[in-house]
Amino acid sequence: MMDEHPRRSAHDVALAQYDEAVSLMPDLNPNAAAIMRVAKRELTVNFPVEMDDGRIEVFTGFRVHHSTVRGPTKGGIRYHPDVSLDETRALAMWMTWKCSLMNLPYGGAKGGVIVDPKRLSQVELRKMTRRYATEISVLMSPEGDIPAPDVGTNPQVMAWIMDTFSMHRGYSVPAVVTGKPVQIGGSEGRYDATGMGVMLLAREALKHLDIPIDGATVVVQGFGNVGATAARYMHGQGSKIVAVSDVYGGVFNPKGIDIPELQRYVAQHGAVTDFPGTERVSNSELLELECTVLIPAALEGQITKDNADRIRARIIAEGANGPTTPNADKVLADKGVFIIPDILCNAGGVTVSYFEWVQSLQSFFWSEEDVNRQMERLMVNGFDAVLHEAERKKLVPRMAAYTLAIARVAEALELRGVYP
């Protein structure tokens, strides 16, 4: 395998993981393997937005569909300065495997705009979102491509996208996005779904390793929606959250951090740094702290071959997409670290997005208890299937998850055939 740069391309990582999985599947049709290795379609858009001071700023955005073999494409929209076509391709591919692994009737997609949303006013953010939604609406529809929130976006952004699409149609189309507010057709339980799913699978992994969740030490990188929610649920299960970080830095307390109190502090001050009763810790130091469960819930490419040998977690629960590079995987496997792979660990979000899509299409809504119960059932089933596959084929959990997911997409490809 090629040497990896500390910031190895996300698409290179996705392809390396795919190629490794395919090498473990001797019965896979090579034609199907070739089709699945590339994205079906990629759209790049450059669009002007009038800013509050009257000047025009031109933004660049993307929407990538990796596969449509198992159903409409599903995937989030990311607003971040580091968004690129390469990253969007990788995230779309990972979404295909995630949806397949969870047995959802979707293919993978991803989208994004190169922007720091924090530097835009609310009016500028709304204008930019509506224009971006208009540009990618040639691909969007409840039957074809259903966006969702991701890094830098939220239910309000989804509301604007849904409204923009609906204005073009002349009637409301709530099923065109998921992760929207409950008041306009969103699902109960959607906001917490990804973070709660991370907790559920950390719980299953701890159970598998005969480690009680009560008293387990947890480190969380990234205190956004996923990381903060996972931390809150782990805290609620009796785990001791000893360190958390956000884009501004990290905080550490070996006796444990009061997560609800920290969330209130962040709501007031906008960052975890300087939270009373903690000491500061850098991002690299945080990843290397001794703990039972490490939850990387920030961006991709955080654990590489350069720091993997210093990771002292028993379990890595991948709340983010692609936080661990392939070469790091090998180091961690040799150390006996149990990795809950991203396409399984953070699949709670897309699972409840599927429930939301179904509810929007039917205009028939479920209670939060029903949503959470159904998500837990699918997440635990997914974990059990990956564990069974790993033990049956003597694979690490990531490769077990990949081979299961790829085989299902390949089977759908074989059944549908190649048009014409």
Report which secondary-structure segment, H or E, holds 94.
helix 85-101
Q: Which two tokens stand for residue 243?
A: 């360190």
Contact 7, 391 (CB under 8 A): no
- 56-65: strand order across its sheet: 41-50, 56-65, 107-114, 73-80, 145-149
Helix H or strand E segment including 290: none
Return d(Cα 109, Cα 89) in angstroms, integer: 8
- CA-closest candidate to residue 51, choices 154, 161, 131: 131
Cβ-contact 233, 226 below 8 angstroms: no
If 0-12 CB within 10 Å is exposed, 13-18 middle and 19+ buried, where does residue 399 land?
buried
Phi then psi for residue 313, to 5 deg, are -90, 150
Cβ–Cβ < 8 Å for 241, 220:
yes
Catalytic residue of the set 110, 127, 180, 240: 110
Q: Which residues of 16-46 are buried (b: 16+ CB within 10 A; e: fewer)?
A: bbbebbbeebeebeeebbebbeebbeebebe
Would you call 110 a catalytic residue per the annotation? yes
Provide the greatest CA pair distance for the chain.
Answer: 65
Is the backbone peptide bond immediately before 260 cis, with ω within 30 degrees of 0? Answer: no
Contact between 334 and 358 under an 8 Å Cβ cutoff? The reply is no
CA distance 101 to 97: 6
155 alpha-carbon distance from chain centroid: 16
So which residues are the catalytic ones? 110
